[in-house]
Structure 1
Amino acid sequence: MIHIPPRQQAGTAGKAGSQFTGVAFPYVTMAATDGVVINTVDFTPGARTHWHSHEDGQILQVLAGRGLVQSEGGPVVILRAGDTVWVPPGERHWHGAAPDSFMVHTAISLGETTWDAPVAEEEYRAKAEENER
């Protein structure tokens, strides 16, 4: 077991080679440990990740605000506080804040992350679908 109290977390207000469009504040809650990385990210309105995938998948837990998520070829889905998203291994996707809202989420990334191109504005602004409540 590894216990990481807040004073020992490797928090940062940004990271070199950022893979975000807009302003996002990633906080590394747990640096890579046994192939798992945990980040809490504060996204400003319109901020989002680039397209990416995870070797062994990713779990997103929305803590506050309203956001968007999309897997390649799928619909843009609206996220709200309390939502959890499972992204299967290798599935290319992006996630971030809605155009008119901040969003905070915790991302649990499993295995290596492969980053790709920024999300085009027309992809980001596509009509979003409500998730079931």
Structure 2
Amino acid sequence: MTAAAVTFEPGARTNWHTHPLGQLLIVTSGKGWTQCEGEPRVEIHAGDSIWCPPGHKHWHGATSATAMTHIAVQEALDGSAVTWMEPVTEEQYLQR
């Protein structure tokens, strides 16, 4: 199992990605957005915990105006903890 504190400046976000055994996000400061493919974007705040189930394509990051820090916890399967995919477009990020 690995854990990392990650800070996103306003407007920064991950690419779309999946985790073979899921991922736990614990927001420690700021405000951000996360979205699972096919679902609405969700606003997240300091103190929130978010579980992304195994294999669910998703992204997460800061809002366009506010930085966000979270602790990301995930476990590897056969040596891999994440599969990175395409970038999140501006339209997807801003929900246009």
- TM-score between both structures, scaled by the size of structure 2: 0.93
Any idea what SS the aligned residue of 1:47 has?
coil
Of structures 1 and 2, the one scoring higher in RCO (CA 8 A, sep 6+) is: 2
Structure 1 position 113 matched with structure 2 position 76: no
Following superposition, the deviation at residue 110 of structure 1 comes to 2.0
- TM-score between both structures, scaled by the size of structure 1: 0.68
- Structure (1 or 2) with the larger CA radius of gyration: 1
Structure 1 position 81 matched with structure 2 position 37: no
How many residues align? The count is: 92
1:60 pairs with one of 14, 25, 33: 25
Structure 1 position 72 matched with structure 2 position 41: no
**CA distance, structure 1, for counterparts of residue 11 and residue 75 of structure 2:** 26
Unaligned runs of 5+ in 2: none
Counting only pairs closer than 5 Å after superposition, residues 24-35 of structure 1 correspond to structure 2 as none
Deviations 1:24-76 (A, max 9, x none): xxxxxxxxxxxx11110011001000000000000000000000000000000
Query: Identity of counterpart residues, as a percentage?
Result: 47
Any idea what SS the aligned residue of 1:79 has?
strand
**CA distance, structure 1, for counterparts of residue 75 and residue 31 of structure 2:** 24
Match of 1:25 in 2: none
Match of 2:92 in 1: 123
Match of 2:10 in 1: 45
| TM-align CA RMSD | 0.9
**CA distance, structure 1, for counterparts of residue 45 and residue 3 of structure 2:** 20
The residue identity in structure 2 corresponding to 1:117 is E
Deviations 1:85-131 (A, max 9, x none): 0000000000000000000000001222100001011000017xxxx
**CA distance, structure 2, for counterparts of residue 126 and residue 67 of structure 1:** 14
